[in-house]
């Protein structure tokens, strides 16, 4: 006959089965909310939850997309906190000198090229008022959806 005392060292001993189920549901709701985003796609983002704290990890193309993922996750019911460990996808210049060769990702020249390329793309993104308009429209739509979900 097996003793239940042997389970005390189990990795899940600090959470109840109900707590684990709540976390699974919270992670699913966050993943669904990310999937429903109309401006950005979050195909390379993983979501996990632990006691209501949601961890986002994976890859996105730009900082505004990373920030948007946090914003979306914070709006989901059951989320107490969001830990955003999402990284930016490396961007390589096509036809650039050998210093930006992907096999040399540790070199400072490669990092500078990616950084300057990223900064150029960011400045063009930030100067676009249509992007800001689209983001505002998405925020409005997401708020309307949350309001509909909360109403009985």
Q: Identify the structural domains of the chain with CATH numbers, from first to last.
A: 15-89 (3.30.1340.30), 90-145 (no CATH)
Find which of 7-21, 59-73, 134-148 is predicted with most confidence, using mean pLDDT: 59-73
pTM of the shown model: 0.54
Whole-angstrom distance, CA of residue 132 vs CA of residue 32: 23
- pLDDT bucket at 20, cuts 50 / 70 / 90: very high
């Amino acid at each position: 006959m097996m003793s239940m005392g042997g389970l005390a060292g189990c990795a899940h001993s600090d959470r109840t089965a109900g707590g684990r189920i709540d976390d699974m549901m919270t992670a699913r709701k966050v993943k669904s909310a990310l999937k429903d985003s109309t401006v950005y796609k979050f195909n390379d983002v993983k979501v996990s939850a632990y006691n209501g704290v949601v961890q986002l990890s994976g890859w996105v193309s730009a900082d505004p997309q990373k920030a948007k993922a946090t914003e979306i996750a914070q709006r989901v019911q059951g989320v107490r906190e969001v830990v955003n460990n999402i990284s930016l996808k490396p961007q390589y210049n096509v036809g650039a000198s050998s210093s930006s060769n992907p096999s040399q990702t540790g070199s400072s020249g490669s990092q500078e090229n990616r950084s300057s390329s990223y900064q150029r793309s960011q400045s063009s993104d930030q100067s676009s008022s249509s992007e800001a308009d689209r983001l505002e429209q998405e925020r409005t739509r997401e708020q309307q959806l949350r309001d509909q979900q909360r109403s009985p």
